[in-house]
Structure 1
Amino acid sequence: MKINGSPTYVKMVKGLIDHQKKSFEGTLKSNNKLFKEKSIEQSPEMQQMRRLLEDKKKAVEKLATDQTAKKIARGEMITEDEREKLRATDPEKLRKAEEANEKRASVSRRLANAKTKTEVQAIIAGEKSMALMIYDKGDQVLGELYLEAVGKAEVDYYQGKKSEPTAIRDTDDVKRERLFDMRL
């Protein structure tokens, strides 16, 4: 910073700036002593912050295990690390996810063997109602995983059916309506 003016004025302003710097550094040093004496670790605000961070960390871990379990229930591929992490944190959830995956495979086979659309709809409705009943009356984790599995089986069934034509086209020329008639 450049200060313009008489030498006395410049000297006075520099002295004032130096004095303010020293007093500011002095308050910092004295505040550090207060912090050490009071101990930041024991303050209730810091303890509350630590608890909040631990709660957030647990929530993130629970979300990761839920996502991994849902992947298993839907029959998606997961890494061995994800499986081991789920086994270490919640082996019961892993067992339920594998059970839901077996349910998905069973429902997929039943849907593949279904002959009519009403039969398909009845299978899907029955399985979803069973999953909701399990969710309401018993095990919410298993019910949620069953819903994931049945939903995936339903999506796979209908996506597989999209590639096939829904009705057979009539190729008989006699029944086909003619747009114009060319007679010579």
Structure 2
Amino acid sequence: MTGRTARIAILADTHGFLDQRIADRIRDCDIALHAGDVGGADVLFAMHPKHESVAIRGNNDDVEHWADAERDMLARLPGDATVDLPGGRIRLVHGDDGGTVEQRHRRYRRQFADCRAVVYGHSHRQCVDRRDTPWVLNPGAAGRTRTNGGPGCLVLACDDDSWEIEALRFDPRSAPRTRRRSGAGPSAQNDGGNG
């Protein structure tokens, strides 16, 4: 991706269900980054960027919330990740480490000062904080669990010189109907408690 603009889909908190409108946006992107609470292999299979997907484990990505047949995929999810992109690095954490939004943003800026952005989920609340470097980003919930106004994601357009972020939110009432594969994954209704 050197020498051109890369498009990065950023999402989190699917809890076993990926909104089709977000899946469609991912197809137009080079890379998809999922900041945890994936909720099952169906979500990973539904993410089809042009090049690669990176997903981390959230506090609800555990044996209680994933189907037995998917445990091998669950075991491969890291707790966090750093991804090199044109123009800088981006850090993925789930965000279940406590504190207010301001405390969390200060902590991430200290901990990951070598990154251009930090992405977290957990709160299901979309946030784009570009007041300082690194940027601190929360894409909101990309499924149907506690979407706080509708499922959302972020799309980052980046090259060696500039980064631009677009925050997307979709109307929860106009979500297209989807069919699940029979016998696949955990219930899409699974809330998993906190975050």
TM-score (norm 1): 0.22
Q: Which has the larger radius of gyration?
A: 1
* Structure number with higher helix proportion: 1
Relative contact order (C-alpha < 8 Å, sep 6+): which is higher? 2
